[in-house]
Amino acid sequence: MKLLLITAVEEFGKEVKNILKHSGVKSFSYQSVKGCKNNGDERENWFAKDHLSVDSLLFTVFMEDEFADEIYKSVEDFNSKQETFSHIHIATLPLEKSI
């Protein structure tokens, strides 16, 4: 069993849901989060805003190991077609136990 974490800008929410739906994942949860990115070095610009925040989504999926490769492939395919700087980000963690 694996824990899959996916972050994406809100505009990609529908695409992430479709990827999960077509990959065999039976259930998942998601929530709205603020994604932050450092906006440069404060030493370079004293008046720069510390962080740029973006309305994003965080998906949490507990899944069987065999679905991971297909999800990664679908995310890579989606990201390769994007002309924007935003991408879907994905990470998996192995789980020793779950109830």
Q: Residue 51: which CATH number?
A: 3.30.70.120
* 84: phi then psi, degrees, rounded to nearest 5: -100, 170
Domain contains 99? no
Helix ranges restricted to H, 8-92: 13-21, 68-80
pLDDT of the residue at 96: 87
Domain contains 40? yes
pLDDT of the residue at 65: 86
pLDDT of the residue at 89: 95
pTM assigned to the model? 0.82
Report the domain count for the chain: 1
Running along the chain, 99 residues long, what does each successive block of 10 average in pLDDT? Answer: 94 95 91 78 52 86 90 96 89 88
44 secondary structure, DSSP code: T
Range of the domain at 18: 2-94
pLDDT of the residue at 50: 57
Domain contains 60? yes
Domain contains 86? yes
pLDDT of the residue at 7: 96
